[in-house]
Amino acid sequence: MTFDAAERNRVGTRDVLVSRLGIGTSPFGTLVAAQGDEVVAATMEAAAAAGPRYFDTAPFYGYGLAQHPLGQGLRGTVRDEVVLSTKVGRLFKPSLTSPLPATRGGERPFAMVYDYTYDATLRSIEDSLLRLDSGRIDIALIHDVNRRWQGDQLEARYREAMAGAYSALDALRAQGVIKAIGVGVNDWEILLRFAADGDFDCFMLAGRYTLLDHSAIDRFLPECARRGIAVHGPMAAGEQRFALARDWLGAVPAVPLAGAARERALAELARRYLAAHGPATAADLATWAGLPLRDARAGLAAIASQVVVAGGGEFVDLAARRDGGDPPAAALEPRLLPAFDPYLLGWKDRRFAVPAAHAKRVYPGGGMLRAVATADGRAVGTWSARRRDGRLAVAVEPFGRIPAAVRAALAAEAADVARFEGLELAI
């Protein structure tokens, strides 16, 4: 398997191509003066040799000190051959009473403030251009509008960012000053809100889609695909690639629905969801479809004449299917469900199927969902399989005591798995 660091991919639908591997310049701001220039020069030389031509920076990195050496390092390059991104949301104002610490030359006579207003965003872009010694920025990102950095001020900062920073960057994009705009944070949940409220080209999800953290897979990446930002594309060199929806699917993303057409679509979505997953709640529908809870409730309300309350609480189901009564529990035979089985993917609250005391064994975190053994629709353990020398060994790890009849049924399931794979079941 090969990896081409220099291969270019388009950002959203904009005329900007980034290399598959980019250079993050936060460390540039923490280098000591004695060796900083040498390290930056060596980094830029290595990047030129290896192929990465995308460089990301921010005023926050080193309190502005990361942008200066990056600009110096880019002086020897052809500007059109590199892509440069920076961020907005923090400003530095002169201050002799509360200077910022710095590793280059001691303290800096500035105080840092959060400011996502329209005018502050324009000021931030101008300041970055000066520090970078560049005539343009290709990608601008709204930076750190999340609870980690904003705490109890998150909602106020979000409103300020959408009314100010987003409006300013959108205008600069329309003028051709910036090619693409987005948001850069450390958690994907807030990015779902930005995706719903604005026309963004890209998102920078820092450290939250890695080999150990797959939590963005279930909702965030599918939402990007739904909006035509990117979808799973063709396989190349044994790797799954992403591509624009219009390029891979051969169609322009659909125009968002509005009015009566949108109401009908929500109603039909709710009906089809219950047909496959009922009984369920509005929160379940919202989780499965990636919709705001208000839209899920609107869809269910639109088909109120077709549903009935099932199981108490907020659970509802299609009346047409319930007319004959609930299926007897005996019909829910013991099963060995594979990892990520849809039976456990379609709900917000899975306690009806997985005992709360054992939830961590089924959902260990990082977006993982293990293979489970069920009886009467309830998880009774997890299971794994090992294949060797034409034989399949199945091991069930129970949550507690499993009745003999259920153990026998699960053993029959294991035999069926082996038969399906053309293997001999190891006893």
User: Residue 15 catalytic?
Assistant: no
Distance CA(427)–CA(420), nearest Å, equals: 17
Q: In sequence order, which residues have a C-beta less than 8 Å from that of residue 245 and are 6 or more positions away?
A: 225, 228, 229, 230, 231, 251, 253
Closest CA to 376 of 421, 342, 410: 410
What tokens does 140 get? 């601008």
What gap in Å lies between CA 358 and CA 379, rounded to an integer? 9
3-class SS of residue 340? coil
Q: Which of 54, 56, 158, 273 is catalytic?
A: 56
Whole-angstrom distance, CA of residue 381 vs CA of residue 403: 13
Burial class (CB in 10 A: 0-12, 13-18, 19+), 144: buried
* Residue 200 near residue 182, CB atoms below 8 Å: yes
- Residue 107 structure tokens: 């303290």
Please tell me the number of Cα atoms within 13 Å of 75 on its side-chain side: 11
Q: Residues 87, 138, 144, 284: which is the catalytic one?
A: 87
- Closest C-alpha to 85, from 162, 155, 14: 14
Give the Cα separation of 362 and 378 in Å (integer): 12
The SS3 of residue 325 is coil
**CB–CB of 212/366 below 8 Å?**
yes
Determine the Cα–Cα distance for residues 279 and 326; give it in Å rounded to an integer: 11
Write the DSSP string, 360-413: HHH--BTTB---EEEETTEEEEEEEEEEETTEEEEEEEESS---HHHHHHHHHH
Half-sphere exposure of 54 (CA within 13 A, CB side): 17
Task: Name the catalytic one among 61, 63, 116, 273.
Answer: 61
Angle at 208 between CA 13 and CA 45, to 5 degrees: 70
Among this protein's residues, is 209 annotated catalytic? no
Q: Are 144 and 89 in contact (CB under 8 A)?
A: yes
Q: Mark whether 201 is an active-site residue.
A: no
Question: Active-site residues: which are they?
Answer: 56, 61, 87
